[in-house]
Chain A
């Protein structure tokens, strides 16, 4: 048989994609569904080419170089950077304080009813469900929205950001902590509970030795996220780099924006490196 390896395969109609028609149909259906979304989002690439907009953009981007390096501005930048870092760290510390009791209360493994019939088991279950619902509530609203509300409540500045982080990250940490605690081998804790130990002792000597590494590593990873979040929260008035960036953007001061962006990149990389190092040490 003479097989020509170089003959174009797709020329043979028998070798066409048997699903081609169905795929095309699906693609068309998707586009039809997409149309109202495009309308809702006021999707209009032509605005990008609008001369007035282009003019603003060009002047603004032209100002990016060189980055601003005025002495006074650099001082402000340093304060803002420290503020952002401190905001993330203090927020995480409070979130930890919020999360530990919530995680403890919502972990099923530590329930006395889990080891056998206990008086008032339903009460424990209802209690756990209530705590879980509360955790969902803490997480459901994004941290920036919390920050926006706290700015109204406690005024402009990092305090609002710290409180917002404490609430959302508290809910998030609590959820993940209890997931981690439930994912490790439950037998040591169970044995302790069956032998009559208290729930705190069962947590400390039954679960924590197994889960500590993962808990620590997740907490450090969350701190890294908190640094990013702290920057973003500044945009709604919670202080730090974000607030400085917001001001510079509003004044269309390209040089300042590019300096802040550079510092922000550096900060994220630094947080990344610290988090990586800490996780290696704690692991």
Chain B
């Protein structure tokens, strides 16, 4: 009787703490959304929203948006691919394949790469490589390497060792044993992770433009700064379309992958 009682008290306590935290947050930020609903507020908001319509669908501008979308797409694909390569390279030592010291080092590097958000990497890469999509690609690649490297290392550690060990026992080389015994076991899962990250990266790639990473994001930031809402509306539509397309491709690829594996 006592244990559930204690649990219930703990639960009530944490719910109370959450409510308190929410109240404190609103108080601390002194949020006053009343201005949005009273006086001139609704009118102003409506005017701001109405300025987005109609979207600018002029031929020349549409072509520009298409180019920006392609650039964002390229940034997301290349960033993810580089991260797959980098993640795989770091996953091997991080899974403890080369002894303890390389393992700690690789994990440290992966943690560092992962814990910096993409946007911070992008700001740094703009310094290192200049404004443009290349900086965005590098930023995505660095952060995603940290994420994928850890996930790959985990799959490597969880894969059964016996197939590889038996190949080794038969006299096959280390690389061949890995490539024909362990790699086929972990590849579907790793590809699944990579596709999932790609879906996240297409969203990120649009955002990286805000700090100078090229593509649709850079155009949107520019147009919004100049209060050119019709152009911004087109770019927003382009972003949403891009995200939906990538989700569809990635979803189809993942389905094919699981059908293949299963």
Q: How far is the CA of A83 from the CA of B26 in the complex (A)?
A: 10
Docked-complex contact A232 and B119, CB < 8 angstroms: yes
Contacts of B137 in A (CB 8 A): 41, 43
Q: Is the CB of A235 within 8 A of B33?
A: no
B74 at the interface (CB under 8 A from A): yes
Residues 59 to 104 of chain A near chain B (Cβ within 8 Å): 60, 82-83, 85-87, 89-90, 92-93
* A41 lies within 8 A of B78 (CB): yes
Q: Binary interface profile of A, 135-155, with partner B (CB < 8 Å = 1, else 0)?
A: 000001110110011001110
Choose from B21, B33, B45, B206 the contact partner of A89 (Cβ within 8 Å): B21
In the complex, whether B75 has a CB less than 8 A from a CB of chain A is yes
Known: A145-B220, A159-B33. 19 other contacts (CB 8 A): A17-B180, A37-B73, A40-B133, A41-B71, A41-B137, A42-B134, A42-B214, A43-B78, A53-B128, A57-B128, A83-B28, A86-B24, A141-B236, A142-B204, A145-B206, A153-B45, A158-B29, A261-B116, A278-B14
Determine whether the beta carbon of A9 is less than 8 Å from that of B176: yes
Nearest B residue to A37, CB-CB: B74
12 contacts between A and B (CB under 8 A): A10-B176, A36-B74, A38-B74, A40-B71, A47-B134, A90-B22, A93-B26, A140-B240, A152-B224, A153-B44, A163-B33, A252-B127
Q: A228 CA to B117 CA in the complex, in Å?
A: 8
Q: Please tell me which one of the listed residues B81, B127, B214 contacts residue A57 in the complex, with CB atoms under 8 A apart.
A: B127
Q: Within 8 Å of chain A (Cβ to Cβ): is B132? A: yes
* Interface size in chain B (residues, C-beta < 8 A): 63
Determine how close the nearest CB of chain A comes to the CB of B71; give it in whole angstroms: 5
Q: What residue of chain A has the Cβ atom nearest to residue B111's Cβ?
A: A265
Determine whether the beta carbon of B29 is less than 8 Å from that of A145: no
In-complex Cβ contact of A8 among B115, B132, B171, B240 (8 A): B171
B25 near A43: Cβ-Cβ < 8 Å: no
A213 to B19: give the CA distance in the assembly, Å. Answer: 18
* B120 is an interface residue with CB less than 8 A from chain A: yes
Complex formed: what's the CA distance from A57 to B121 in Å? Answer: 13
Report B-chain residues with C-beta under 8 Å of the C-beta of A261. Answer: 116, 120
Docked-complex contact B210 and A281, CB < 8 angstroms? no
Asked whether B170 lies within 8 Å of A141 as measured between CB atoms, the reply is no
On chain A, the residues within 8 Å of B71 by CB distance are 40-41
10 pairs of A and B residues whose beta carbons are closest in the complex: A86-B25, A40-B74, A89-B25, A37-B74, A90-B25, A140-B240, A41-B74, A93-B22, A41-B133, A86-B28
| Selected contact of A85 from candidates B25, B36, B75, CB within 8 Å | B25
Contact of A232 with B117 in the complex, beta carbons under 8 Å: yes
Interface check B243, CB cutoff 8 A:
yes
B29 pairs with A236, CB closer than 8 A: no
Interface string of A38-59 (1 = CB under 8 A from B): 1011111001101001001100
How far is it, in angstroms, between the C-alpha of A141 and the C-alpha of B130 when the chains are bound? 27
Judge whether A245 is part of the interface by a CB distance below 8 angstroms: yes
Contact: A141 with B29, CB < 8 Å? no
A5 to chain B, nearest CB (A): 5
Q: Are A145 and B236 in contact (CB under 8 A)?
A: yes
**Complex contacts, B31 vs chain A, CB 8 Å:** 90, 158-159, 162
| Partner among B14, B24, B70, B224 whose Cβ is within 8 Å of the Cβ of A148 | B224
A245 touches B120 (CB 8 A): yes
- Check if A43 sits within 8 Å of B11, measured CB to CB: no
